[in-house]
Amino acid sequence: SFLRMVALLLESSQPELQQLATRSFMAFANIDEDTPSYHRRYDFFISQFSAMCFWNHGDERLIRRQRLSGLQGLQGVIRKTVSDELQANIWEEVHMNKLVPALLFNMQQQPGGEGGEGSNRRSDNEEEDPASLAETCLRDLVGRAGFGNLNSVMTPMFDYFDKGDLW
């Protein structure tokens, strides 16, 4: 199936193939489906895209592209699963403990790949700025969380702040 091929590309050790997989997954995520798919699981994609968000190998340009691809993939997963009650529950702790720290990590990164207090710079083109894209994804995630799911987002966020002494 299409998603199996995307998964195989994501398993590759070549960043270019992983980025191709992300673009393919985004095309899939943008498709509105008339009937829900009860059997589709996105666990693997959440893990892979989250790992890509922490990519730290190669030159600065490759790191930026790889992290952007990871963020775009997470954005696609959020778009595909959050609004569909019949999908695998993205609000589960195992998923949020991967997704939220990946977003916060990229929001914290300053331009140029250096970690720091975060960037106050807003990019006009969030497609090229991991911090802006991560912020957009987090806003989308929190905005789509119902009252009962808000704790699922906040707990990993507070854990991230605690572990990084970011208070």
Distance, first Cα to last Cα, the chain = 45
pLDDT at 100: 97
Per DSSP, helices labelled H in 86-164 are: 93-108, 130-144, 150-163
In this model, does residue 119 exceed pLDDT 50? no
The pLDDT tens digits for 4-30 are 999 999 999 999 999 999 999 999 988
**Coarse DSSP helix, strand, coil percentages of the chain, rounded to the nearest 5 percent:** 65, 0, 35
Q: What is the pLDDT of residue 1?
A: 85
122 CB burial (10 A radius; 0-12, 13-18, 19+): exposed
Q: What secondary structure letter does DSSP report for 42?
A: -
Tokens at residue 51, please?
Answer: 């790992």
CB 44 within 8 A of CB 25: no
The answer, yes or no, to whether residue 35 has pLDDT greater than 50, is yes
Q: What is the pLDDT of residue 38?
A: 57
Burial label for 96, CB within 10 Å (0-12, 13-18, 19+), is: buried
Q: How many CB atoms lie within 10 A of CB 23?
A: 15
DSSP β-bridge partners for residue 115: 109
What is the pTM assigned to this prediction? 0.85
Query: CA-CA distances (angstroms) from residue 106 to 8, 18, 35, 101, 149?
Result: 25, 18, 34, 9, 23
**pLDDT for 42-68, tens place per residue?**
899 999 999 999 999 989 999 999 999
* Spacing of C-alpha 109 from chain mean position: 15
